Structure 1
Amino acid sequence: MEVLVSGKLFQLSILACLGAWAMAESQCGRLEEKLLYTTQESTEPSENPWIGILLEEQGPRYQNLRCSVVIINELHVLTTATCVKRFKNRSGDTKAVAMLGVWNEDDSPDEELACNEKDFCVPGPKLYKVVEIKVHPQSDRDTGDNDLAILRLEKTVEWSAWIQPICLQGSSEPETLTNRNLHYSGFNNDGTNKGKGLSMTVSTRKCKQLTSSSVFFPVNQLCGYPVKRTKFYPGSALMDIDVRSDKPHNFYLVAILVRNVDAGQATTQVYQNVRRARSWIMENVK
């Protein structure tokens, strides 16, 4: 037992050093190139550190709403409007809570260290109360278009190696998102660890076919055809990579997942295009 405790104390000191380094070197959309080319479906603990989970405060407990949130800056996270429609209060005591710095959704924020069965430890997740919910003004319940919501947090997020923001824009971006092999990340129904994958975006015409939307498909949404059929939570981030001087520099957000559609042997991911909502996001996260 003494060896185990000593090991954890040593690991805690290392984690503290990494956290201090991250706060000094924090940048949006941080990536490690070597992690881009693996076939792993689970992330490393500090990989994609802008992904969190939406909770609902229920007395002394919190209910996991099976929705991801994406950290935009030190006071705001982004998710879908559908994920927050259950909250009647849009300001003050909303009962909404963002759990950030989470790698395994079963980990408790009451624990300073969250350890697995192999005694591998990471800092426990942090809870941030939501004090304001802003739904996109053109959110359409009938069509599902503009399914976006910005959540303002009660206190400033403390940056660490496990909690950092995503970039909202790349230095150079393609005109279209069609036929792009993009990265996505969030939590899903097949495991408790934060996951990741690749998804090929398709044309609107193909999107209609895959989702059986023969007449209408929301103009500000797009479809992704994932390599794996794993169903990720709404709010998961679809990301492109900003390349500078021929090197992958950082991730930036292009869309967030709103739903999964099963059709035969395929699963289609339907995403809300964030690029077309950037001006609204920027105006509301100042």
Structure 2
Amino acid sequence: MLGRIAVITLFLGFLSLGVQSAQQDDQECGSFDEDQMLKQNNFAIPTEHQWVARIVYGKGFEGKIKNNGCLGVLVSKRTVLAPAHCFVQYNGVAEAFSVHLGVYNKSAPVGVRVCETDGYCTRPAQEIKLAEIAIHPEYDSRSLKNCLAVLTLQREAKIYPNVMPICMPPPNLMNETLVAQTFIVAGLRIFEDLRLKTWVNTLSRPFCQEKVKTLVTRGNTVCGYHARKEAYYLGAPLVGMQKKGRTTQNFYLVGILIDWGWDGERVMSSFLAIRNYMDFIQQNSHSLIVRS
């Protein structure tokens, strides 16, 4: 039954947060700063990887999935992508309630300004309820094949320096290999509070399956080791760097984390490659941003 789930619509009331800020360009996405990118021994500060969204369930942040937490990635003002198994439970019911945007510390209260001990004072995180969850029609809950959900928010996200969509994969990179590449994964972590980032070196599927036999890998996934020994919530975005001429232009979305495991002291993750699902995403999304 769960392998053929179409669209689940949640009829929810609207929530309005009084967050005041100037709107940025509607076409702004994937903010990139070389100085920030190179500080890989530090946390992903509030103005880095601002597309990370925390999934909220009816009874709190934890769902009935591996390691309790799930993330999504903001791809437009009203669209978030996330793994399907964060929503579809064994009874076939989607239990998600809303998303939180702009979360830097997962333990901090939502809707209030927070100043951390590291010196960062962040804008209030936004909570936006879900209007609709579109599960890929060929999703298989047992194998995690086509494990993708497109979430429609009830209202537009307010865009400011710590909340911004990620750019979608550029057309000229759609057919490039995803193996033997270096990308970045960023998100909230299982064992710590602050958002982090780390390099991911991608490898062949046979190699990943040999090293971590339980890891979910398929033809539409990309896998690899984390440079740092950190485990992230499912749904953490894997991003690449798009260049224009000799200048790096922006980050773009490569994949979303659907499974991970340990190889000794190293973390290996598997990501659903987003470029394989652009038609489904476009059919269920609002105003995706693609840089040429």
**TM-score (normalizing by structure 2):** 0.82
Which residue does the alignment assign to 2:43? 42
Alignment of 1:123-138 (within 5 A): 123-138=123-138
Please give the alpha-carbon distance, in whole angstroms, between the structure 1 residues aligned to 2:234 and 2:248: 27
* Matched-pair identity in %: 23
SS in 2 for 1:78: strand
**Structure of higher CA gyration radius:** 1
Higher relative contact order (CA 8 A, sep 6+): 2
Alignment of 1:112-131 (within 5 A): 113-117=113-117, 120-131=120-131
Alignment of 1:43-122 (within 5 A): 43-58=44-59, 62-65=60-63, 66-86=69-89, 95-111=96-112, 113-117=113-117, 120-122=120-122
Alignment of 1:1-286 (within 5 A): 19-20=21-22, 23-24=24-25, 27-58=28-59, 62-65=60-63, 66-86=69-89, 95-111=96-112, 113-117=113-117, 120-170=120-170, 172-173=172-173, 175-212=176-213, 217-286=217-286
Structure 1 stretches lacking a partner, 5+ long:
1-14
Please give the alpha-carbon distance, in whole angstroms, between the structure 1 residues aligned to 2:42 and 2:85: 26
Please give the alpha-carbon distance, in whole angstroms, between the structure 2 residues aligned to 1:44 and 1:264: 29
1:240 to partner: Cα distance:
0.8
Residues 108-141 of structure 1 deviation map (CA, whole Å, 9 limit, x = unaligned):
1231x11124664211101000121111112122
Please give the alpha-carbon distance, in whole angstroms, between the structure 2 residues aligned to 1:120 and 1:169: 31
SS in 2 for 1:54: strand
SS in 1 for 2:269: strand
1:256 to partner: Cα distance:
0.4
Residues 211-252 of structure 1 deviation map (CA, whole Å, 9 limit, x = unaligned):
2169x9422112111111211110000111100021110011
Instruction: List structure 1 runs of 4+ shifted beyond 6 angstroms.
Output: none
Aligned-residue Cα RMSD (Å) equals 2.3
Please give the alpha-carbon distance, in whole angstroms, between the structure 2 residues aligned to 1:285 and 1:26: 15
1:72 to partner: Cα distance:
1.1
Change (3 A) 1:183 1:63: closer
Residues 156-176 of structure 1 deviation map (CA, whole Å, 9 limit, x = unaligned):
111111111001122532611
Please give the alpha-carbon distance, in whole angstroms, between the structure 1 residues aligned to 2:266 and 2:118: 35
1:266 to partner: Cα distance:
2.6
1:40 to partner: Cα distance:
2.4
Counterpart residue type for residue 57 of structure 2: E
Q: Answer yes or no: is the 8 Å Cα contact 1:95–1:129 preserved in 2.
A: no
Residues 142-189 of structure 1 deviation map (CA, whole Å, 9 limit, x = unaligned):
221211111111111111111110011225326110000111111112
Counterpart residue type for residue 36 of structure 2: L
Change (3 A) 1:284 1:118: closer
SS in 2 for 1:243: strand
Please give the alpha-carbon distance, in whole angstroms, between the structure 1 residues aligned to 2:124 and 2:157: 15
Q: Whose helix fraction is larger, Structure 1's or Structure 2's? A: 1
**TM-score (normalizing by structure 1):** 0.84
1:261 to partner: Cα distance:
1.2
